[in-house]
Amino acid sequence: MMRRKFIKLTAACVLTAIVLYAGGLQPQSAAAIANRATAYEPVQQQAQRWVDELAASPSFAAWKKSSLVVSPIGPGTHSWLVLVKQNQDTVGYLVVNALEKGGYQLGEYGTSTHPLFDEQILSRSMKQLELLKPASKTEALYVHPLLAAWKVTADKDTYYTDAASGEVLPVQSSDWAAASAMKLKNTGQMLAADKATILKQVTLPSFNAFAKLPWLTKQPMPLSSSSYSDLFAHLNNKEQLRYTAELFDGQMLYVWSVVGYNKWSTGPIYVALEADENGSDRRYIPLTLLIELGHFYR
């Protein structure tokens, strides 16, 4: 039987009540929280440098005088999710990756009240799954920005839900393992380093990515990791571009509108993507990864 191709839904969903299943967050003592804060202090210090750099621009003005909450992502990934908070409200996030030789790289970042691995998004996923019994375990998995998911175990069944949208992924454990094992070429070399500063920022208005469907009617823009000046010529001219990526051997099609980019002093460029047109949730993802895993369309 042919597997049906799924398209990521972009309509805004009504947030559901938070439901914590088994395997969720457990109460922690004050001592445990203090020890964790000490352990992650170098990560937090580095994240603060990037936050301060971004907060100087109008697009990230809400990040000024913010506080940061750091937590590790998944088993053995050497990555951390950093939530940017104003009082008790989340206004953005960063993913920080550790380098084997020491130091950190900025994996991705964005403006959102419900960023990656948000518990309300997980709750929404649980409702979509319509489990007969509460999940026995939930686990955050992060390989790269386009491969981030909750792994939900319920009885003898395993499910995967997108870490950003909460959409249930049409994949099995074997599909996830194959995608995770895929070797990427130059992505790790093109991430913002410890002391990087922003050289240029371009911010475009939000728009409906599905108002036109160029990925069905046109050829993608001819880009490579070493030749992408044409992309920025169109963005600097304020044209509406779309980005698509087919993952899991074409079982999942992601579609985003392209709404800007940031160029950092150490070389990397992060492209701003939106899954809907309300302008509240933007993900800045390394260009090299986007070129390797998908296509841009005019």
For position 133, what pLDDT does the model report?
78
Average pLDDT, the chain: 85
**pLDDT tens digits, residue range 111-128?**
999 999 999 999 999 999
CA angle, residues 9, 207, 228, in degrees to nearest 5:
95
**pLDDT tens digits, residue range 32-76?**
434 444 557 899 999 999 999 999 999 999 999 999 999 999 777
Closest CA to 206 of 271, 244, 260, 269: 260
Which range is least confidently modeled, 127-136, 182-191, 194-203, 227-236? 182-191
CA 214 to chain centre: 24
- The phi, psi pair for 249, rounded to 5°, reads 55, 40
DSSP state letters, 185-235: SSGGGGSB-TT--EEEEEE-----TTSS-HHHHSPPP--BTTB-HHHHHHH
Whether 104 contacts 44, CB under 8 Å: no
CA 146 to chain centre: 7
For position 17, what pLDDT does the model report?
31
**pLDDT tens digits, residue range 231-242?**
999 999 999 999
Number of other residues whose CB lies within 10 A of the CB of residue 68: 18
- The phi, psi pair for 252, rounded to 5°, reads -130, 125
**pLDDT tens digits, residue range 159-181?**
999 999 999 999 999 999 999 99
Q: What percent of the chain has pLDDT over 70?
A: 85
Model-level pTM?
A: 0.86
CA angle, residues 220, 221, 227, in degrees to nearest 5:
140
